[in-house]
């Protein structure tokens, strides 16, 4: 018994492979947060006055807001004054094309497995890479422009499409939503912006790869995706960070807006540095993600695979405002060592006959703590709405924990709400069964975990599913024998 | 006489700190089928567990050699790759992992170990189809998750299918007949009999003589309270059926 438990722990506590640091000179603001810093960020980005005003309103609100205290996560108080709120790789001028981007930067992305040039040529994935706070390259822009699709860094969108940005910024996640979203609204430095025009089906997966490089920097990116009537877009987001002993704060905001008959599919593979076995270092991933199905028969689907971060605090949610709109949430969250995750979703049914599906798979290993927290709210007007929730937890070893908090608020008697939950352990029996058939314990665990997550992984686009499996320690690489 | 394939000498083993096997001696030669019978709690499954390397069982004394090597030094997966197969009494379910995928991984793990080339999907399918027919298992069942939602009979047929594909040198069947109706029993037995060969040995653990009408053993051993108290030919099973375990336990002077 001791043998296989040991194996489980080894697997769960494997080394972080993406912990290298890129040596690039950065243009940094001094640490600390004040109205001056916000003015500096806004000035660096040559922002219009309304945006600066919005940031300052958010900042003033943030000063009064308490930290959210209702989740299961535990951490020492965050020293907001020690964080650098603006860090940009130094460059002579803004890159016009990929060829002008600092090769060191591109090599970093290659190490991460996202060679932009290669992808540009082969995969047909358009990538907007955010390095620390600034978007370094947006590939495939011209191809997308042919279809009228806007896919750019947030800063560029503010300059080129201020009306669209102004109309939708904060329309799904108001700056006052919560402490972390509020901070983001005040200090966000970049992110991605997508607009898909009426009737356009985006011909490729859009992808952003976030990476936190500089020490003591927070990453506060902001993503805004607007899918106009009858359009479709699939968006992928991946994240890594170098190994540091200090905790780094990542407080992002993602807003999605789907108009009539539009569909947005948003997939995340999050592999921020999780900290070491003793819980030193790692990213605090405090993210607010929300989509609004504004139009009738619109659909928003969140798929996330969360394997990194010291603490994950995120609840990608759907506001189902349009009649017959659909919200989906598929999640795999893995916590090992001393990682903590408090994650789940909110499905807010406002329109008639709105439907939502929640499939959450939590995997806890080592001393990891995994919490599912979900709210299904059916409003008084949401006649005939339906929700199905399934929350499964898998425990590896006996020092980890899993919690499930499903909240239901049903204000319409015609609604149907179903909830199923299971908790299981990777049994010694399952492991022994596989071993008895000649399969190594490492392969057996990855097989079992893979099987457990299958329902979620199959929602991911192909290339991403492969990466996700790797991150879950599921690939057969590095196995014994 | 053939060289021994398996030699068990004075085997003592415990589970959860309680000694269950109090000194087992058994020699199995190539091509032989040994039946191990005995009442509940006599240690039959513990014996099977020791041979397969079940982690929760601790060997406290004695020796087990397999082809002259110390079997107890090998990890469970190494034993499997060396040709030891255990058909489980209670086969586990593994949600989300298809039966077909699992079996291919198992087969290739063994082939790789033996320095053989791994089979690709097409060759594997050709091989497995033939065995599926033997065990009356259809493709639908192969594409389902391992044992998930399988009936008792389906689980046992699936075990024997795995055995047929993996072609072990020593197969241990732990109460493979339990929970089977007569038709399923016939299918399972046919499958097992098809695998009998001069260089494959079997240890068939069962409660009931019934199974031994189908799988006729060369030797029968009676296990009681962690010891083999009587050994004999296949007729011993019939005698047991008639007179019950109490008879033999009494005869052994207990």
Q: Count of CB contacts below 8 A, A vs B?
A: 83
Examine the pLDDT at A93 and tell me if it is beyond 80.
Answer: no
Q: Which residue has the tokens 């030699």?
A: B7
String of DSSP letters for A200-236 = -B-SS-EEEEEE--STTB-B-EEEEEEE-TT-EEEEE
Cβ distance A1 to B55 less than 8 Å, yes or no, reads yes
Question: What is the C-alpha end-to-end distance of chain B, expressed in Å?
Answer: 34
Cβ distance A453 to B113 less than 8 Å, yes or no, reads no
d(CA A53, CA A311): 31
Q: If residue B204 lies in a helix (H) or strand (E), which one and from where to where?
A: strand B201-206
Report which DSSP code applies to B91.
Answer: P
- List chain B residues with pLDDT less than 50: 254
Examine the pLDDT at A445 and tell me if it is beyond 80.
Answer: yes
Between A152 and A57, residue with greater pLDDT: A57
A190 pLDDT tier (thresholds 50, 70, 90): confident
Average pLDDT over residues A365-381: 88
* Least confident piece of the model among A442-451, A467-476, B182-191: A467-476
| Mean pLDDT value across chain A | 79
d(CA B225, CA B43): 7
Cβ distance B80 to A450 less than 8 Å, yes or no, reads no
Question: What is the C-alpha end-to-end distance of chain A, expressed in Å?
Answer: 20
**Which residues of chain A are within 8 Å of residue B56 when distances are taken between CB atoms?**
1, 428
Q: Are B23 and B11 in contact (CB under 8 A)?
A: yes
**Which residues of chain B are within 8 Å of residue A472 when distances are taken between CB atoms?**
none
Q: If residue B194 lies in a helix (H) or strand (E), which one and from where to where?
A: helix B182-194
- What does the pLDDT look like over A64-84, one tens digit per residue? 888 777 777 787 888 888 877
With b meaning 16 or more CB within 10 Å and e meaning fewer, what string describes A348-375? Answer: bbbbbbbbbbbbbbbbbbbbbbbbbbbb
Between B126 and A102, residue with greater pLDDT: B126
Q: Which chain A residue is nearest to residue B145, measuring alpha carbons?
A: A451
d(CA B51, CA B82): 12
Average pLDDT over residues A12-41: 69
Cβ distance A433 to B75 less than 8 Å, yes or no, reads no
Report which DSSP code applies to B57.
Answer: E
Nearest in space to A222 (alpha carbons), one of A274, A278, A259, A180: A180
β-strand pairing of B170-174 with A87-89: unpaired
d(CA A371, CA B67): 50
Q: Which chain B residue is nearest to residue A4, measuring alpha carbons?
A: B55
Q: Which chain A residue is nearest to residue B90, measuring alpha carbons?
A: A429
ipTM: 0.95
- Which pLDDT value is given to residue A44? 84
φ and ψ of A147, to 5 deg: -90, 0
- Which pLDDT value is given to residue A4? 46
Preferred mutation among A361, A433, A438 to probe B, highest tally of B CBs within 10 A? A438
Proportion of chain B in helix, strand, coil states, percent, rounded to 5? 40, 30, 30
- pTM value? 0.76
Q: How far is CA A440 from CA A60, A336, A479, B77, B101, in A?
A: 57, 21, 8, 6, 15
Which of A116-130, A397-411, B164-178 shows the highest mean pLDDT? B164-178
Tell me what percent of the residues of chain A surpass a pLDDT of 90.
32
Cβ distance A435 to B77 less than 8 Å, yes or no, reads yes
- Which pLDDT value is given to residue A350? 96
- What does the pLDDT look like over A146-164, one tens digit per residue? 899 998 888 888 999 999 9
d(CA A151, CA A144): 7
**Which residues of chain B are within 8 Å of residue A2 when distances are taken between CB atoms?**
55
Examine the pLDDT at A397 and tell me if it is beyond 80.
Answer: no
Distance of residue B71 Cα from the nearest chain A Cα, in angstroms? 14
Cβ distance B77 to A452 less than 8 Å, yes or no, reads no
- Which pLDDT value is given to residue A105? 56
Distance of residue B210 Cα from the nearest chain A Cα, in angstroms? 27
Nearest beta carbon to residue A448 from set B55, B75, B97? B97
A36 pLDDT tier (thresholds 50, 70, 90): confident
- Which pLDDT value is given to residue B23? 94
Cβ distance A428 to B55 less than 8 Å, yes or no, reads yes
Q: Which residues contact A203 (CB under 8 A, 6 or more apart)?
A: A124, A143, A147
Cβ distance B54 to A481 less than 8 Å, yes or no, reads no
- Which pLDDT value is given to residue A118? 44
A244 pLDDT tier (thresholds 50, 70, 90): low
For B170, the token pair is 């020593």
- Which pLDDT value is given to residue B22? 95
State the burial class of residue A77 (Cβ atoms within 10 Å of its Cβ: 0-12, 13-18, 19+).
exposed
- Which pLDDT value is given to residue A320? 97
A470 pLDDT tier (thresholds 50, 70, 90): low
**Which residues of chain B are within 8 Å of residue A390 when distances are taken between CB atoms?**
none
- Which pLDDT value is given to residue A124? 43
Nearest beta carbon to residue A481 from set B88, B96, B109? B109
Nearest beta carbon to residue A433 from set B92, B110, B112? B92
Q: Which residues contact B86 (CB under 8 A, 6 or more apart)?
A: A436, B48, B51, B52, B172, B174
For A18, the token pair is 């993406």
**Which residues of chain B are within 8 Å of residue A438 when distances are taken between CB atoms?**
77, 80-81, 106, 109-110, 113, 166
d(CA A144, CA A201): 11
- Which pLDDT value is given to residue A474? 37
d(CA A283, CA B186): 60
d(CA A274, CA A272): 6
- Which pLDDT value is given to residue A78? 80
Interface residues of A toward B, Cβ cutoff 8 Å, are 1-4, 427-430, 432-441, 443, 447-448, 450-455, 481
Q: Report the SS3 class of residue A342.
A: strand
Q: Report the SS3 class of residue A324.
A: coil
Nearest beta carbon to residue B96 from set A432, A441, A450? A450
Distance of residue B64 Cα from the nearest chain A Cα, in angstroms? 17
Cβ distance B92 to A428 less than 8 Å, yes or no, reads no
**Which residues of chain A are within 8 Å of residue B103 when distances are taken between CB atoms?**
437
- Which pLDDT value is given to residue A1? 37
Examine the pLDDT at A47 and tell me if it is beyond 80.
Answer: yes
A94 pLDDT tier (thresholds 50, 70, 90): very low
**Which residues of chain B are within 8 Å of residue A435 when distances are taken between CB atoms?**
53, 75-77, 80
For A245, the token pair is 């002993």
Examine the pLDDT at A5 and tell me if it is beyond 80.
Answer: no
- Which pLDDT value is given to residue A21? 55
Nearest beta carbon to residue A436 from set B56, B80, B97? B80
Preferred mutation among B55, B161, B165 to probe A, highest tally of A CBs within 10 A? B55
Cβ distance B77 to A427 less than 8 Å, yes or no, reads no
Distance of residue B250 Cα from the nearest chain A Cα, in angstroms? 36
Nearest beta carbon to residue A430 from set B52, B94, B112? B94
String of DSSP letters for A26-47 = EEEPPS---HHHHHHHHHHTT-
d(CA A102, CA A114): 15
Q: Which residue has the tokens 């979703």?
A: A345
Cβ distance A439 to B105 less than 8 Å, yes or no, reads yes
Examine the pLDDT at A475 and tell me if it is beyond 50.
Answer: no
Helix axes B152-166, B99-113, angle to 10 degrees: 30
For B199, the token pair is 């260089």
CATH architecture of B4-251: 3-Layer(aba) Sandwich (3.40)
Preferred mutation among A6, A437, A475 to probe B, highest tally of B CBs within 10 A? A437
Q: Are B217 and B34 in contact (CB under 8 A)?
A: yes
- What does the pLDDT look like over B23-37, one tens digit per residue? 999 999 999 999 999
Average pLDDT over residues A171-175: 91
Average pLDDT over residues A38-56: 90
Q: Are B155 and B91 in contact (CB under 8 A)?
A: yes
Between B114 and A470, residue with greater pLDDT: B114
Cβ distance A429 to B92 less than 8 Å, yes or no, reads yes
Q: How far is CA B139 from CA A98, A140, A215, B82, B130, in A?
A: 50, 44, 55, 28, 12
Q: Which chain A residue is nearest to residue B55, measuring alpha carbons?
A: A1
């Amino acid at each position: 018994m001791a043998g296989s438990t040991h194996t489980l722990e080894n697997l769960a506590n494997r080394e972080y492979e993406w912990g290298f640091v890129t040596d690039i000179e950065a243009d940094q603001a001094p640490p600390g947060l004040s109205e001056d810093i916000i003015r500096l960020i806004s000035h660096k980005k040559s922002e219009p006055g309304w945006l600066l005003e919005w940031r300052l309103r958010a900042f003033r609100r943030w000063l009064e807001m308490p930290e959210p205290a209702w989740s299961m996560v535990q951490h020492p108080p965050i020293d907001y004054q020690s964080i650098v709120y603006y860090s940009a790789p130094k460059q002579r001028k803004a890159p016009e094309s990929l060829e002008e981007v600092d090769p060191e930067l591109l090599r970093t992305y290659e190490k991460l497995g996202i060679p932009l040039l290669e992808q540009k040529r082969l995969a047909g994935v358009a990538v907007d890479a955010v390095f620390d706070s600034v978007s370094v390259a947006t590939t495939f822009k011209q191809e997308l422009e042919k279809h009228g699709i806007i896919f750019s860094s947030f800063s560029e969108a503010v300059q080129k499409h201020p009306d669209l940005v102004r109309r939708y910024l904060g329309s799904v996640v108001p700056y006052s939503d919560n402490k972390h979203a509020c901070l983001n609204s005040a200090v966000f430095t970049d992110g991605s912006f997508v607009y898909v025009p009426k009737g356009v089906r985006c011909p490729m997966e859009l992808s952003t790869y976030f990476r936190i490089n500089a020490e003591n920097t927070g990453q506060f990116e902001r993503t805004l995706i607007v899918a106009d009537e009858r359009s479709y877009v699939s968006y992928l987001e991946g994240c890594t960070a170098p190994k540091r002993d200090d905790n780094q704060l990542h407080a992002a905001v993602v807003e999605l807006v789907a108009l009539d008959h539009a569909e947005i599919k948003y997939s995340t593979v999050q592999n921020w540095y999780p900290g070491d076995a003793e819980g030193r270092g790692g990213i605090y991933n405090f993210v607010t993600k929300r989509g609004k199905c504004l139009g009738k028969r619109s659909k928003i689907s969140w798929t996330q695979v969360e394997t990194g971060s010291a603490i994950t605090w995120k609840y990608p949610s759907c506001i189902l405002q349009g009649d017959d709109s659909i919200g989906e949430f598929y999640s795999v969250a893995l916590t090992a060592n001393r990682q903590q995750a408090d994650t789940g979703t909110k499905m807010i049914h406002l329109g008639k006959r709105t439907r939502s599906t929640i499939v959450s798979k939590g995997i806890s290993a080592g001393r990891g703590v995994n919490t599912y927290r979900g709210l299904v709210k059916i409003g008084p007007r949401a006649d005939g709405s339906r929700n199905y929730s399934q929350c499964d937890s898998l425990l590896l070893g006996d020092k980890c924990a899993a919690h499930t908090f499903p909240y239901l608020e049903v204000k319409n008697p015609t609604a149907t709400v179903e909830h199923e939950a299971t908790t299981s352990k990777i049994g010694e029996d399952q492991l022994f069964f596989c071993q008895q058939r000649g399969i190594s314990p490492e392969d057996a665990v990855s097989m079992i975990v893979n099987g457990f997550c299958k329902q979620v992984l199959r929602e991911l686009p192909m290339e991403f599913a492969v990466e996700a499996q790797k991150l879950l320690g599921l690939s057969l690489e590095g196995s014994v024998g | 006489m053939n060289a021994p394939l398996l030699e068990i000498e004075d085997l003592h083993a415990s589970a959860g700190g309680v000694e269950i096997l109090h000194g087992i001696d058994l020699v199995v030669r190539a091509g032989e089928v040994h039946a191990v019978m005995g009442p509940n709690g006599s240690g039959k499954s513990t014996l099977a567990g020791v041979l397969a390397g079940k982690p929760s069982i601790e060997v406290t004394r004695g020796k087990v050699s397999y082809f002259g090597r110390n079997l107890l030094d090998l990890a469970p997966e190494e034993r499997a790759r060396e040709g030891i197969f255990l058909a489980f009494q209670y086969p586990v379910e593994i949600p989300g992992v298809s039966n077909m995928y699992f079996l291919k991984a198992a087969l290739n793990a063994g082939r790789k170990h033996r320095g053989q080339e791994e089979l690709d999907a097409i060759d594997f399918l050709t091989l497995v189809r033939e065995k599926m027919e033997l065990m009356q298992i259809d493709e639908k069942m192969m594409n389902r998750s391992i044992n998930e939602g399988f009936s008792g009979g389906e689980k046992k047929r699936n075990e024997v299918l795995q055995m047929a594909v993996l072609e072990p040198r020593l197969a241990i069947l732990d109460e493979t007949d339990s929970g089977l109706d007569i038709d399923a029993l016939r299918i399972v037995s046919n499958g097992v009999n098809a695998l009998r060969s001069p260089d494959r040995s079997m240890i068939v653990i069962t409660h009931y003589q019934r199974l031994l009408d189908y799988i006729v053993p060369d030797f029968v051993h009676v296990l009681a309270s962690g010891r083999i108290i009587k050994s004999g030919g296949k007729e011993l099973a019939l005698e047991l059926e008639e007179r019950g375990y109490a008879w033999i336990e009494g005869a052994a002077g207990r």
